[in-house]
Amino acid sequence: MKMIRANKAIKKGDMVEVIAGRSKSKTGKVTKIITKTNMCLVEKVNMVKRHTKASQENPQGGIVDKEAPIHLSNVKLVSATVDKKPAKKEPAKKVTKKTAKKTTKEETKKKPVKKTAKKD
């Protein structure tokens, strides 16, 4: 079964505003999108306390503040990321000539009538 993403407009790096939940009206930058569950992680929004066990990375252990994912339907786009790609140049329009046959009693002649721009 193919998963359908709730909001395809939101991408990593976009500024979003939370419109529902306990972090309502907070804004932040999208750090990760989880397509399987239609959720995203937003910087410093929807913070939860995680009780961690002592490990080599954190020998003390204790309570750590962590961002929890928010469903894409509870987030609205404030400003999108700007693509750094340069704009493509449009190709020059090709000019074609229409020809018309001008006939006389003696011979047939081809004469260019007008120039027209080719439509895309």
Q: What is the pLDDT of residues 57-78, one digit of tens each?
A: 989 999 999 999 999 999 999 9
Residue with tokens 């979003």: 16
pLDDT of residue 82: 59
- Residue 24 included in any domain: yes
Among residues 17, 46, 47, which one has the least CA distance to residue 29?
17
When pLDDT is averaged across residues 19-23 and rounded to a whole number, the result is 94
For residues 93 and 58, is the Cβ–Cβ distance under 8 A? no
Tell whether 120 is covered by a domain. no
Measured distance CA(16)–CA(80) in Å, rounded: 8
pTM for the predicted model, two decimal places: 0.61
Q: Please report, for the domain that includes residue 32, its CATH number.
A: 2.30.30.30
Residue 27 included in any domain:
yes
Angstrom distance (rounded) from CA 20 to CA 71: 10
Please give the Cα distance from 53 to 36 (Å, whole number).
28
How many domains does one find in the chain?
1
* Residue span of the structural domain in which 75 resides: 15-79
Residue 22 located in a structural domain? yes
**Residue with more model confidence, 28 or 100:** 28
Q: 92 lies in a domain?
A: no
